[in-house]
């Protein structure tokens, strides 16, 4: 029998559903999602079949950066609820077998945090200022910022305070960077980890995990505006990103995590070279790290093959598990990325940014194609070994909303760039729960970001009883995934080529994706799920199928496999007997495209 993962490592192959709380469900009619809204949808989350939820920040915040500007790490924004609501939500999710991961934002506080207020009121050189990164300016009277570094959100990374000093903020001016060389800062975060772990939180998603340790020895070197360490520095030595010392911080966090049963887990948001990622995911560190390589890949067979083989090789070499992500609250939804015609010189993310700037009209997205490919990509991702992160609304096949009027936009990326970047509001538009009504069932009133009319037909209500819907596909996929889950590896099947990816997990679970124009035969076995209907028994373009085939080797576990056909979207042809199977990113890759 395949061994179930030990409970202590429940996360290794978990499906985690990201909730962006202000846009998930609103229980009190103010147009902003809240914890009561999540409580009211626990049944929905359970019916989806996810193992855990990750909540983006719900802390008190002025919302300069959607809650990633935290005023108080140990409280709930009163607009979203109370600590009692949080406890009720956690209890409800746990009772449904769903674990809870919360976002922790250690690189920066908000400018309304008690510490930052104290720092502003305190003199130069005071302990209160030493919790942040204050420096004198350059030039006459220190009127020039200490360096020419730019914020990732646009504009300078330094802001001057009334007594003439400057403070560092790699993101918005309202997000002052903390000084992680300070013992007090470190201890306070350990206390925050304990605070939430004591309340039953199972894990932490660590925002900007690669940014905490900094080398701020002067003179400061000019640096490009990027979250990547880049090739100009030896690995681990960039002044701002992915420094080796950052792992000393996570070793301390691990000591706290291991005081709980099961041990708490962290998942690093670390935009680092794949070869550096596994250190964040080490058992001596956080345990998991986001792998954004699929999210950055174009919908091309060769790119997907390369990402999957490289990432599995990296993680296997280091004995850690991997994660997969196609969408989150920071990027254009994958249904829309795949709806844009691929441009050779642009990654899918780059092409999507250009498309957003055009107001969502150039190129004209082919939504049907995007949805078809997104379903195929998701089914492929869910068959891979490791953990999969889903973003709220992708189970409805939601597309990006591109035409949000400027005066309704919330993202600092839009405001700080003077509109030169559209920002991330288009994937944060509140979810449609009902086919009509005010804000499509999200709230009793209008939603905080405007929803387009086309949300109605994509609502939960509209899809709930449609077995061909994207919602039904996700439910079926998660249910089958639980039954078929196997050891954390895969075997590429003969015939994987420039058009088709075909792999097998132990126990006989096979996944085949056809990226090319020619429909191809499926391998021998029982078809359990397909992302789009078959064509005369063949797997058509932009379609993924899961097949359960009797294992021919001595792999144990056959007895637990289902031997029936089930969960096929309407119109899927399962009647045929199946023949033999056929089959930009930023830094270097080891394997050429086939």
Q: Binding residues for ligand NOJ, how many (CB under 6 A)?
A: 9
Q: How far is the CB of 169 from ligand NOJ (least distance, A)?
A: 10
Order across the sheet with 134-135: list the strands.
134-135, 166-168, 158-160
Q: How far is the CB of 391 from ligand NOJ (least distance, A)?
A: 11
Contact 504, 491 (CB under 8 A): yes
What x-and-dash track marks residues 249-278 binding ligand NOJ by CB under 6 A?
A: --------------------x---------
Q: Is 541 in the site for ligand NOJ (CB under 6 A)?
A: no
The only residue of 208, 374, 431, 538 in contact with ligand NOJ, by rule CB under 6 A: 208
Contacting ligand NOJ within 338-367 (CB under 6 A) = none
Phi, psi of 84 (to 5 degrees): -65, -40
The only residue of 10, 59, 68, 166 in contact with ligand NOJ, by rule CB under 6 A: 68
Contact 281, 314 (CB under 8 A): no
Contact 123, 117 (CB under 8 A): no
Q: For residue 504, what is the DSSP state?
A: E
Q: Is 220 in the site for ligand NOJ (CB under 6 A)?
A: no
> Closest CB to ligand NOJ among 175 and 282?
175
> Closest CB to ligand NOJ among 66 and 146?
66
Q: Tokens 């070869």 correspond to what residue?
A: 275
Q: Is 171 in the site for ligand NOJ (CB under 6 A)?
A: yes
Phi, psi of 509 (to 5 degrees): -80, 120
> Closest CB to ligand NOJ among 69 and 542?
69
Q: For residue 372, what is the DSSP state?
A: H
Q: How far is CA 196 from CA 99, 101, 112, 191, in A?
A: 13, 10, 21, 9
Q: What CA–CA distance (Å, rounded) separates 271 from 278? A: 12
The only residue of 34, 71, 207, 410 in contact with ligand NOJ, by rule CB under 6 A: 207
Q: For residue 558, what is the DSSP state?
A: G
Contacting ligand NOJ within 43-62 (CB under 6 A) = none
Q: What CA–CA distance (Å, rounded) separates 460 from 318? A: 41
CB-based burial, 109-124: b 16+ in 10 Å, e otherwise: bbbbbebbeebbebee
Question: How far is C-alpha 73 from the geometric centre of its chain's CA atoms?
Answer: 21
> Closest CB to ligand NOJ among 267 and 522?
267
Q: Is 105 in the site for ligand NOJ (CB under 6 A)?
A: yes
Contacting ligand NOJ within 430-489 (CB under 6 A) = none
Q: How far is the CB of 267 from ligand NOJ (least distance, A)?
A: 12
Q: Is 227 in the site for ligand NOJ (CB under 6 A)?
A: no
Q: Which residue is nearest to ligand NOJ (CB)?
A: 68
Q: How far is the CB of 36 from ligand NOJ (least distance, A)?
A: 23
Q: How far is CA 73 from CA 112, 188, 566, in A?
A: 12, 10, 46
Residues 6+ apart with CB under 8 A from 232: none
Residues in touch with ligand NOJ (CB under 6 A): 65, 68, 105, 171, 207-208, 269, 329-330
């Amino acid at each position: 029998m395949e061994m179930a993962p030990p409970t202590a490592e429940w996360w290794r192959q978990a499906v985690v559903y990201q909730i962006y709380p202000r846009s998930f469900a609103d229980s009190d009619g103010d147009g902003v999602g809240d914890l009561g809204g999540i409580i009211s949808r626990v049944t929905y989350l359970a019916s989806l079949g996810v193992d855990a939820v990750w909540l983006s920040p719900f802390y008190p915040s002025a919302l300069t950066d959607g809650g990633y500007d935290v005023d108080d790490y140990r409280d709930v924004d009163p607009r979203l609820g109370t600590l009692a609501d949080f406890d009720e939500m956690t209890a409800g999710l746990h009772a449904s077998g769903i674990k809870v991961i919360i976002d922790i934002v250690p690189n920066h506080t908000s400018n309304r945090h008690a510490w930052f207020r104290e720092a502003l009121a305190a003199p130069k050189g005071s302990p209160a200022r030493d919790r942040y990164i204050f420096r004198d300016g350059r030039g006459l009277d220190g009127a020039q910022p200490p360096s020419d570094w730019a914020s990732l959100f646009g504009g300078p990374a330094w802001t001057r305070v009334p007594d003439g000093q400057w403070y560092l903020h790699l993101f918005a001016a309202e997000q002052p960077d903390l000084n992680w060389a300070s013992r007090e800062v470190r201890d306070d975060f350990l206390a925050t980890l304990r605070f939430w772990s004591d309340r039953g939180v199972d894990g932490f998603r660590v925002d900007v995990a690669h940014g905490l340790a900094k080398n701020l020895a002067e003179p400061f070197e000019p640096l490009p505006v990027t979250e990547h360490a880049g090739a100009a520095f030896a690995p681990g030595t960039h002044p701002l990103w992915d420094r080796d010392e950052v792992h000393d911080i996570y070793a301390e966090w691990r000591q706290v995590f291991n005081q709980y049963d099961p041990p708490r887990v962290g998942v690093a948001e670390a935009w680092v070279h794949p070869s550096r990622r596994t250190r964040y995911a080490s058992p001596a560190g956080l345990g998991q790290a986001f792998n954004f390589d699929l999210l950055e890949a174009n919908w091309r067979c060769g790119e997907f093959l390369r990402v999957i083989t490289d990432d599995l090789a990296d993680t296997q070499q280091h004995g850690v598990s991997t994660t997969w992500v196609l969408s989150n609250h920071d990027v254009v939804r994958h249904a829309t990325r795949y709806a844009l015609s691929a441009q050779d010189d642009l990654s899918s993310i780059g092409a999507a940014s250009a498309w957003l700037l055009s107001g969502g009209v150039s190129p004209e997205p082919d939504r049907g194609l995007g949805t078809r490919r997104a379903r195929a990509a998701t089914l492929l991702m869910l068959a891979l070994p490791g953990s999969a992160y889903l973003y709220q609304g992708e189970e409805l096949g939601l597309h990006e909303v591109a035409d949000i009027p400027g005066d309704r936009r919330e993202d600092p990326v839009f405001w700080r760039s003077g509109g030169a970047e559209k920002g991330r509001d288009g994937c944060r538009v509140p979810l449609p729960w009902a086919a009509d009504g005010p804000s499509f069932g999200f709230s009793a009133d209008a939603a905080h970001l405007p929803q387009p009319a086309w949300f109605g037909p994509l609502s939960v209500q509209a899809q709930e009883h449609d077995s061909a819907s994207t919602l039904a596909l996700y439910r079926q996929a998660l249910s089958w995934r639980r039954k078929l889950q196997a050891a954390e590896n895969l075997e590429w099947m003969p015939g994987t080529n420039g058009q088709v990816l075909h792999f097998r997990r132990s126990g006989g679970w096979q996944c085949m994706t056809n990226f090319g124009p020619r429909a191809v035969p499926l391998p021998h076995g029982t078809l359990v799920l397909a992302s789009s209907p078959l064509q005369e028994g063949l797997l058509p373009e932009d379609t993924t199928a899961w097949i359960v085939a009797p294992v021919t080797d001595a792999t144990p576990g056959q007895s637990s496999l289902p031997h029936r056909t089930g969960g096929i979207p309407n119109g899927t042809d399962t009647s045929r007997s199946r023949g033999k199977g056929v089959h930009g990113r930023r830094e270097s890759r080891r394997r050429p495209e086939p």
